[in-house]
């Protein structure tokens, strides 16, 4: 422990703001080192002088402050997340519609012959009847099959199972190692749950 280190910590030592060990080390150094103890003494005296400074009395009372405070309005409380609610602006409506449209049209790209971006018109929505000429005519029976409106990217999905499990009486075919449907099969038809007979 050198003097330079000790002198940098003298104020903290004076205020008892060091750990017990450090406090002890500096105390033992001060007993030996004249220079450091002189420095410490002057700092102690400075603190002592400051502590003896009188409390200054204000010329006016708190009434003056309160009088001005009465005229001021308190700030309206803000919610914790720091955003004030307001009715949606026009661009926010537009953004909302765009987002909803994007979600609705997500799964359609493989169904139609052309990209949904180029054929985006009210007639290509899911609410159009099956007789719409834009729907695929290659396999008409498929268009009657249920398709999810917004296939979730992380949807747990059906996947051909190698062998039926015996434990549950109703088993959904699923590859336990895969978990998620491969991208290439996002638009494939989910297979129906299989009902398996279990021995009683």
Partner 1 sequence: MTHTAVAQSMDDRLQREFDELVYRHYQQAYNLAYRLTGNAADAEDLVQEAFLRAYRFFERYDRSMPFMNWFSRILTNLYIDEYRRRGRLRTVSIDEVYSGEDGEEGTTMDLPDTAPNPLELALSNEYIHAIHEGLQYLSPEFRIAVILADLEGYSYEEIAEITKTSIGTVRSRIHRGRKQLRDQIKKRHPNLFERGDLK
Residue 51, both tokens: 């502590």
3-class secondary-structure state, position 166:
coil
**Whose Cβ is closer to partner 1: residue 64's or residue 152's?**
64
CB of 24 to partner 1, least distance (A): 18
CB of 35 to partner 1, least distance (A): 14
**Whose Cβ is closer to partner 1: residue 8's or residue 192's?**
8
Q: CA torsion 81→84→90→91, rounded to 10°?
A: -30
Q: Residue 157's CB: how many other CB atoms inside 10 A?
A: 21
**Whose Cβ is closer to partner 1: residue 84's or residue 89's?**
84
CB of 21 to partner 1, least distance (A): 17
**Whose Cβ is closer to partner 1: residue 44's or residue 147's?**
44
**Whose Cβ is closer to partner 1: residue 82's or residue 176's?**
82
3-class secondary-structure state, position 194:
strand
The answer to whether the Cα torsion of 172, 175, 177, 178 is positive or negative is negative
Residues that bind partner 1 (CB under 8 A): 8-12, 15, 17, 41-43, 45-62, 64-66, 68-69, 72-75, 77
- Rounded distance between C-alpha atoms, residue 182 and residue 21, angstroms: 62
Q: Residue 107's CB: how many other CB atoms inside 10 A?
A: 18
Spell out the residues 6+ positions from residue 173 whose beta carbon is closer than 8 angstroms to its own. Answer: 158, 159, 160, 161, 191, 193, 194
CB of 88 to partner 1, least distance (A): 24
CB of 34 to partner 1, least distance (A): 13
């Amino acid at each position: 422990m050198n003097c330079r280190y000790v002198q940098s910590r003298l104020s903290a030592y004076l205020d008892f703001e060091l750990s017990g060990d450090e406090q002890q080390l500096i105390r033992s150094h001060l007993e030996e080192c004249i220079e450091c103890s002189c420095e410490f003494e002057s700092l102690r005296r400075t603190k002592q002088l400051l502590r003896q400074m009188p409390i200054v009395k204000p010329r006016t009372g708190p009434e003056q402050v309160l009088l001005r405070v009465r005229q001021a309005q308190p700030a309206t409380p803000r919610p914790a997340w720091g955003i004030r609610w307001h009715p949606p602006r026009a661009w926010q409506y537009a953004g909302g519609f765009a987002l909803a449209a994007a979600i609705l049209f997500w799964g359609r790209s493989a169904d139609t012959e052309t990209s949904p971006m180029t054929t985006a018109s009210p007639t290509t929505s899911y609410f159009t009847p099956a007789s719409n000429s834009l729907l695929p005519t290659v396999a008409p029976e498929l268009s009657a099959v249920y398709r999810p409106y917004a296939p979730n990217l992380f949807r747990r999905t059906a996947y051909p199972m190698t062998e039926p499990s015996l434990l549950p009486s109703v088993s959904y075919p699923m590859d336990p190692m895969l978990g998620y449907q491969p991208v290439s099969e996002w638009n494939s038809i989910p297979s129906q749950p299989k009902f398996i007979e279990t021995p009683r």
